[in-house]
Chain A
């Protein structure tokens, strides 16, 4: 008797829990006017873009800010995952999700029209939305014009004790190293990593912004960083001292005589499990369209992927540059090798 009443209780409990949970998560379930987004890009960055999308389309965007573990979460949620699309920075992340079979191909004339072929997956598994170049920041005072013009110069003995860079294991540096592996092979890339390591003014630390700060303070003469940090520092109203940091350096687009500067993308992809596929495509189309590309350009100082969208005046003032044309997926394939290379040359020690 006790047994039956207990199991009834358990059944009831499971039922009510399931019901309650279903009611709770109802907000994220399939519905015509919604789309569910997993984003590793920060909410404060995405908010204006997503608001613009909602007011234009009437589609509500539900978002989870997933800096880590997005791939594992999609995997464990499987076919029932509520996520319709993902938004991540760095080609490596797009590539890993694709390799894990979590994405689905999308055909959209709008997307192929907006996004040049080199910045999207050939079958439409992912789409780049913004471009950033990994450049050299050089002290206006202490670096002579022409003294540094390529990534290779960073490994030249003349730069001994003058170079600052963030952790060699950071995703941006791994991609840069992977691009060198693609361009020049493993051996040359190892030599390059060793050379840069030997020239470091300090142990790799901080983010890209912190490297420019170090140049400003005279701790080093050149630093490696993504382009948009320059814009963020030069216009920082809340922390005006950052404007001084920005003023102390020139942007050098590396390897303009050769293969071009290493560029990377942030991008989006539709998940295999998408329940609101049409809305997800609509959101990516919106993000690659004029209005959103302009917001990306103006608020985050990134290069729009869509040709013809005006750059932020400051970004434009850095001038045109030649980008490394190596196919991004190829670079992504070398990331694991690059990571191990950083260990082998003890870059971070």
Chain B
């Protein structure tokens, strides 16, 4: 229609993209810099003590935890994603979304539930003692649930869905052609998987894995309950018991640098690789029939993590909730549930809108500045929630008191605190923390759209924005929905930031659960814990169905 104008508009828009991305990245990074600033203004040098006592233990424990959870989630996540996407076996269609269910289960809650079941005083060991006539602890061996191994198991069970989700999205987005080419060139299904499908899915899987590792690194609830001395436990110890918040910030900064190093080295390792779908041939996926024993094995492989990570703990919680039912408490819980949902929807929506802007402008503008801006903006996920919350408070407190000071000086009245202690502060905190989730997911999806699409659209006269709207967004719909869901579910479970930033007379489901759970009164918290799971499960199911349908040519399986 109007060929010359879009060009100029395009130019104008391009500047807008860059500015928007840099502004967002700056906003998201300020609290992290506040933490680093805190680290640079120490009250007491904590390092000599830490180095001479616990530091090496913190580091080795944390590394083993990360390695264990990383391996576990890779094995379960990638394995089941491949089975569910490419093979046909009994129950496959249920597992497509069912595999995601444990995602709604907070790690600290599953830890409480399994401790109740598996500890010395729990029903399993009591039954064994009854059965074999053992009288005491010395007479038999049973794995200790409150241990490093226990923590690895708990976190693997609830975190593998991150890897599953992104691996499956990658497998779904791969065109069958490549895989078929490999098969027709004489490679078997296993070799084709390892030499073609897996490397193609690597960016997605790596993003899933890095989310898992950062969650693991920052977990406090589970390791605290299991008394597993990780780095994050050390941060809180320095902060709370030694009353040294800047020492805690120093430890957090070291952890952040470690994560930055990991992220950077992975990117560097695949710096020359780009994975776009080269063929537009999205035929129905092949669907290898697994019959007999192999089919059964596939079913069991998928069923076990869902049973252990979701079904069993949910049943236990249901039983507690039934035993401890209290109508008055239930009404209160409903109010908290509304708070949780409101906050999570708000944060989820904003996080994804922002992520689309950032990922898309990096795509069309390219260049180091935007790449760095995006990576830095996503670093909030690598800082423990409570420490990041302190960063957010420092930023908002300074802003509020700055505005107040100006108003007092110039206009003779006080504005008080504008942002501190409001819903806006909590939402901002969530965004800073969870931007990595939405950005990573959107980037991974966008990366699979071949740039020739952009070229075609632009040469046909569409501007950058229109190209995004009409070409990219429909193609990355699955990724966008995944991003919304990830942020939503994580916000529902989020505890430390909410506790520190929440306004007066305000509670979420997570903080409500915490007040009981911190006292190991799981019974009274069971209903609220179930509500977290219940509310989280709804979008998980809805969106995973949408994702399955979003692949052109994918008919949901016959």
A-B contact pairs, 9 of them (CB 8 A): A24-B423, A42-B519, A64-B506, A66-B499, A69-B389, A73-B500, A76-B390, A76-B393, A239-B323
Is A67 among interface residues, defined by CB-CB distance under 8 A? yes
By the criterion CB–CB under 8 Å, are A76 and B519 in contact?
Answer: no
Given contacts A66-B499, A72-B390, A213-B121, contact A348 B242 (CB under 8 A): no
Set of chain B residues within 8 Å of A96, measured between Cβ atoms = 243
Contacts A80-B401, A171-B240 given; does A66 touch B500 at CB 8 Å: yes
What 9 new A-B contacts, CB under 8 Å, besides A42-B519, A239-B324?
A: A18-B415, A25-B416, A25-B418, A64-B502, A72-B393, A72-B394, A73-B393, A76-B393, A218-B136
A68 contact from B226, B229, B500, Cβ within 8 A = B500
- Assembly CA distance A17 to B403 (angstroms): 13
Q: How far is the CB of B406 from chain A (nearest CB, A)?
A: 12
Q: Mark A100-142, 1 if CB is under 8 A from B, else 0.
A: 0000000000000000000000000000000000000000000
Residue in contact with A77 in the complex, picked from B225, B229, B236, B397, CB distance below 8 Å: B397
Scan A302-337; emit 1 where CB is below 8 A from any B CB, else 0: 000000000000000000000000000000000110
Q: Does B535 contact A (CB under 8 A)?
A: no
A76 touching B398 by the CB < 8 A rule? yes
The one of B417, B418, B421, B507 in contact with A43, judged by C-beta atoms closer than 8 angstroms, is B507
Q: A44-B515, A64-B503, A73-B393 are in contact. Are A210 and B386 (CB under 8 A)?
A: no
Given contacts A68-B386, A203-B227, A205-B227, contact A336 B505 (CB under 8 A): no
Task: Give A30-66 as 1s and 0s: 1 = Cβ < 8 Å from B's Cβ atoms.
Answer: 0000001000001110000000000000000011111
Contact of A64 among B146, B421, B496 (CB under 8 A): B421
Q: How far is the CB of A286 from chain B (nearest CB, A)?
A: 19
Contacts of A24 in B (CB 8 A): 422-423
- B-binding segment of A146-154, A263-271, A291-299, A338-346: A338-346
CB-CB < 8 A to A339: which residues of B?
237, 241-242
**Cα-based distance from A346 to B54 in the complex (angstroms):** 8
B245 an interface residue at 8 Å Cβ cutoff? yes
Known contacts A65-B515, A335-B243; is-contact A219 B120 (Cβ 8 Å): yes
- Taking a contact as CB atoms under 8 Å apart, the answer to whether B515 and A63 are in contact is no
B161 located at the interface, meaning its Cβ lies under 8 Å from any Cβ of chain A in the complex: no
* Closest chain B residue to A43, Cβ basis: B515
Q: B407 — nearest CB in chain A belongs to which residue? A: A18
Using a Cβ cutoff of 8 Å, how many contacts connect chains A and B? 179
Q: Given contacts A68-B496, A77-B420, A217-B121, are A349 and B503 in contact (CB under 8 A)?
A: no
**Interface: A28 (CB within 8 A):** yes
Interface residues in A195-252 by Cβ distance below 8 A to B read 201-207, 209-210, 213-214, 216-219, 238-239
Q: Considering only CB atoms, which chain A residue lies closest to B229 in the complex?
A: A348
Residues of A within 8 A of B494 (CB): none
Interface magnitude class on chain A? 35 or more
B280 at interface by CB-CB < 8 Å: no
Contacts of A18 in B (CB 8 A): 403, 415, 418
Decide: A80 and B417 in contact? CB cutoff 8 A.
yes
Q: Which residues of A contact B57 (CB under 8 A)?
A: 346, 349
Residues on A with C-beta less than 8 A from B506 are 64
Residues of B within 8 A of A63 (CB): 504-505
* A206-B404 CB under 8 A given contacts A68-B240, A69-B389, A82-B417: no
Closest A residue, CB atoms, query B135:
A218
Q: Mark A61-102, 1 if CB is under 8 A from B, else 0.
A: 011111111011101111111100000000010001001000
Q: Knowing A62-B505, A238-B523, A349-B57 touch, does A69 contact B393 (C-beta < 8 A)?
A: yes
Q: Which of B422, B504, B518 has the most CB of A within 10 A?
A: B504
Is there an interface contact between B520 and A207, defined as CB atoms closer than 8 Å?
yes
How far, in angstroms, from A80 to B407 measured CA to CA in the complex? 13
Q: Let me know if A29 is at the binding interface, CB within 8 A.
A: yes
Whether B511 is near chain A, meaning CB under 8 Å from some CB there, is: yes
A76 and B422 within 8 A (CB) = no
Is the C-beta of B270 less than 8 angstroms from some C-beta in chain A?
Answer: no
Partner of A219, one of B137, B396, B398, B516: B137
Interface residues of B in 403-432 (CB under 8 A from A): 403-404, 414-424
> Closest CB of chain A to B43's CB: distance in Å?
10
**Taking the complex as formed, is A169 at the interface, i.e. its CB lies under 8 A from any CB of chain B?**
yes
Contacts A25-B422, A167-B227, A210-B520 given: A238-B324 contact, CB under 8 Å?
yes
Interface pair B242/A336, CB less than 8 Å apart:
yes
A21 to chain B, nearest CB (A): 5
A239 touches B523 (CB 8 A): yes
Q: Which chain B residues numbered 234 to 248 have a C-beta less than 8 Å away from chain A?
A: 236-237, 240-245
Q: A328 CA to B30 CA in the complex, in Å?
A: 39
A281 within 8 A of B: no
Contact, CB under 8 Å: A336 / B500: no
Evaluate whether A343 and B49 lie within 8 angstroms (CB atoms) in the complex, with A68-B386, A77-B420, A210-B520 already known.
Answer: yes
Least CB distance, B351 to chain A, in whole angstroms: 19
Q: Is A238 in contact with B136, judged by CB distance below 8 angstroms?
A: no
Chain A residue with Cβ nearest B137: A219
Interface string of A4-26 (1 = CB under 8 A from B): 00000000000001100110110
A174 lies within 8 A of chain B by Cβ: yes
Chain B residues with CB under 8 Å of A207's CB are 519-520
- Tell whether B184 is near chain A: CB-to-CB under 8 Å: no
A157 within 8 A of partner (CB):
no
A27 CB within 8 Å of chain B: yes
Q: Does B514 contact A (CB under 8 A)?
A: yes
A174–B238 alpha-carbon span in the complex (Å): 13
Which residue of A is nearest B522, CB measured?
A239
CB distance B120 to A214 under 8 Å? yes
Q: In chain A, residues 147-177, which have Cβ atoms closer than 8 Å to a Cβ of chain B? A: 167, 169, 171, 174
Q: Which residues of B contact A68 (CB under 8 A)?
A: 236, 240, 386, 496, 499-500
At the interface, yes or no: B524 with Cβ under 8 Å from chain A? yes
